[in-house]
Structure formats: C-alpha cells, structure tokens
Amino acid sequence: MKPFRSNKFLKISLIIISFCVFIAGLTYAAINIWPSLGATTVDLLRGIFGDQIVSIVEDTILKTQDNAHQFAYQVTGSSPEINWGDGGEQPVTESQTGWLPPIATAIGNKKNEAQWQPFISVKDQIVAYRALIAPDPQRPYAFAAVIAFDLDETRLHFLLGTEEPKSDVQLPRTGLIPSEDRKAGRLLAAFNGGFKAEHGHFGVMVNGITVIPSQENLGTVGLYSDGKVRMGLLGKEVPQTPDLLVWRQNGPLIIQNGTINPLTKSNDPKDWGYVVSSDTATYRSALAISKDGRTLYFLVGPDLTLPALARALVAVQAYQAIQLDINNFWAHFESFKTIGPDLKAVPLLDFMKNVDDQRFLGSYLRDYFYVTTR
C-alpha cells in the first residue's frame, strides 16, 4: 500500500506543479508577450482562481523578470533606449512663450534627465512639457516619463468606463469623450484611471452621484466646476463643496504635502489595491499636482517600484500624488494631433504603440482622464 500511496501523492504533486506552471506561463504571456490578450487573460484567471493566487504568481514573475533585468545590466552595463512615441524632442519656435513647470531635479545619470521639453502647444503657447526621471539607483535603466500640464490653460476631465469601476448605481456610462470635447484643437491628451473596483473599492463620485462610497484617509483627486484640480484627503485638501463635480480615490497618497508617505514601503495588499507588492518593479503610473495648484503631473514608466515612483514625484516637486493603474497594458498615455478635420492619437512612448493605442478615441471599458483646452 505504501508504494500506491507514494505514486498517488506523486501524481497529485505533478498535477499541482503542472497547473502552477500553466498559470505562470499564461501570466508571463499576459505581462510581456501579448499585452492586450494578456490583460484579459489575467482578469479571467483572477475570476477563476481569485486575486490572491494570481497576484502571487504575477508578483513572482515580475520579480524574477526584475532580477534578470538587473543581472543583464550588471553584465552589459547597457540600458534600453527611451523613445518618445512621436519620434523625438519637440522644437521650440520664437513665438512660443510663457509658463514653465517647477524645476525638476535629476536623480540618476541619464542624458537630458530632468530637463523639460515642450510637448503640447495651443496657438503657439506651450501648455504641456515632458521630461524623464531616473529614480532608482538600484535599477539605473528604470525611468519615469513625466508630463506637466498648465492648469491655467488646460482642463482635466474624468470619465467612467463602460464596465469599470463596477457599481450597482445606475447612470449613463458611454466610456466615450463627449463630442464637444472630442474635437481637433480642443482635445489634447488622455490617460488611464485607477484600479478596478474589486481591487480596493476606492471611492468614485461623478456629477454629484456617488458611484462607490469614499473611504477615509485615502488619496483623492477632485475636479471642480471652475476647472480647478485639488488633491489630498477628501473633506480636507479636497473640500466637498457644491462645485465639486468629480472625485476619484485610488489608495493612500504617495506624496502628502510634499513628503513621501511611509506606506509606500509597505507591502500590505490592502493599501495598494490587492495587486502586486510595492517593492515589485513593473509599469506604474501616477497623478500629482504642484503646491500652487497650477501644474498637473502624469507619470508613467516601466521597471518602477512604488518607492521609485515616489522619488520621481518628489524630483518634479509634486506636492500631492496618488498612484493610478499599473502594468504595461493599463498604464497608458496618448496625446492628440490634428490631421485635417480628424484627431490622431499618438502614444507617449514607443512601447505603447503596440498596446491598443487609439483606445481613448472610442468607447472604453475602464475609467480614464482626458485633458482639453480651457
């Protein structure tokens, strides 16, 4: 009987190992090979096996990949090239004038790091700049691409997706930028929102309707009827006045009053949406605002841990900041060029060109932000 039990135990063990390898393989493909199909696959696996199991597998794969990246860098000393989606730096004309974002500070040793380049202009006035920050001495190849918008000349908007964040509250959800904003010369850029509702149930309010109830002591971005953007804690830095149109939470503040939140070093999944741990290097994105409330920042980049993302935010003088969505399919930014009467989406970085670009010009399933002229 003992050999029979041993064989049975061996077969069960092999089945479990094979299953784990299968899940790991699917998750790896999801993360690296077919981002669009992979993102759907990960969501499907989470629905079947639960967030905890898939998050452990995803976290393990990302950390293994990160170790491989660090080893390759130590052996070769080379870093991957960073290419903007439009092919290069934007020229400055003599007629372009005006505003500059707060001075950024270089952390690493990348060429042209922390130097603001003109990015988006409206009628020869620069309304957005971009820069690169290398925020992680342990990973010199990691970077955060930063976009800084002038909120005196631009306006931030928020849209619910057709599916996310899920809620029992009934209200129109087209996932589509309104026609009055989806126009050449009006629509400037769009970028991802936050986590799915099931990953934290962080609060959302749109046009006075609470889609998901708020939670205390969480980072919140609030949009007001006069176009102002405020970030911080709901009811404090984000006052709940009658002119507050939208608020969106997505975990604790990463930067609070100009200081890095110690929770960024915490790996407690309840803090960061029951996804990968804060010390896992992956694609991450964030939204932030300057102390005077004039400069709005969006950050995105690969190979970023949460502490590295926080350092990048400090480097550009962000005063309040929250993390948005993560991973290479969901962390996405597009600017819009006018081609005749039409709009063409231009992904911010080269690697975004193969992960469902043009997504924000149609009806989209996840919540997102977009920027227009005032």
Whether the pLDDT of residue 92 is over 70: the answer is no
Question: 124 or 236, which is more confident?
Answer: 236
Whole-angstrom Cα distance, residue 265 to residue 277? 9
Mean pLDDT of 294-308: 96
Whether the pLDDT of residue 374 is over 60: the answer is yes
Whole-angstrom Cα distance, residue 105 to residue 134? 10
Q: Is 371 helix (H, G, I), strand (E, B) or coil?
A: strand
**Which pLDDT band, with edges at 50, 70 and 90, does 110 fall under?**
confident
Q: Name, in order, each residue with C-beta under 8 angstroms of 222's C-beta and a sequence gap of 6 or more.
A: 229, 230, 231, 234, 238, 239, 244, 246, 247
Whether the pLDDT of residue 20 is over 80: the answer is no
* E strands present in the chain: 117-122, 125-133, 144-150, 154-159, 187-192, 204-206, 209-212, 219-224, 229-233, 244-249, 253-256, 259-260, 282-289, 295-304, 320-326, 333-339, 342-347, 368-373
Token pair of 98, please?
Answer: 């005006």
Task: Report the Cα 374 to chain-centroid distance in Å.
Answer: 24
Question: 318 or 198, which is more confident?
Answer: 318
List pLDDT tens digits, range 353-365: 876 668 999 999 9
- Return the pLDDT at 51: 63
Q: Is 15 helix (H, G, I), strand (E, B) or coil?
A: helix
pTM of the predicted structure, to 2 decimals: 0.87
**Which pLDDT band, with edges at 50, 70 and 90, does 228 fall under?**
very high
- Return the pLDDT at 27: 52
Question: 82 or 190, which is more confident?
Answer: 190
Whether the pLDDT of residue 109 is over 90: the answer is no
List pLDDT tens digits, range 274-298: 677 888 899 999 999 999 999 999 9
What is the phi/psi pair of residue 260, to 5°?
A: -70, 130
Written as one letter, the residue type at 1 is M
DSSP string computed for 94-158: TT-B---PPPP---S--TTTT--EEEEEETTEEEEEEEEE---TT-TT--EEEEEEETTTEEEEE
- The structural domains of the chain, with segments of one domain joined by +, span 2-76, 117-373
Whether the pLDDT of residue 28 is over 60: the answer is no
Q: How far is CA 124 from CA 83, 121, 338, in A?
A: 25, 6, 15
- Return the pLDDT at 69: 77
List pLDDT tens digits, range 161-188: 999 999 999 999 999 999 999 999 999 9
Q: How many CA atoms lie within 13 A of 172 on its CB side?
A: 6
Mean pLDDT of 211-234: 97
Mean pLDDT of 202-223: 96
Q: How many CA atoms lie within 13 A of 89 on its CB side?
A: 11
Mean pLDDT of 75-95: 70
Q: How many CA atoms lie within 13 A of 316 on its CB side?
A: 37
- Return the pLDDT at 115: 95
β-pair partners for 191:
333, 369
Average model confidence (pLDDT) for the chain?
86
**Which pLDDT band, with edges at 50, 70 and 90, does 43 fall under?**
low
**Which pLDDT band, with edges at 50, 70 and 90, does 338 fall under?**
confident
Whole-angstrom Cα distance, residue 177 to residue 190? 10
Q: Do 145 and 299 contact (CB within 8 A), yes or no?
A: yes
Whole-angstrom Cα distance, residue 194 to residue 366? 8
What is the phi/psi pair of residue 125, to 5°?
A: -110, 125
Q: Name, in order, each residue with C-beta under 8 angstroms of 141's C-beta and a sequence gap of 6 or more.
A: 69, 73, 79, 80, 303
Q: Name, in order, each residue with C-beta under 8 angstroms of 32's C-beta and a sequence gap of 6 or more.
A: 38, 65, 328
Whether the pLDDT of residue 12 is over 90: the answer is no
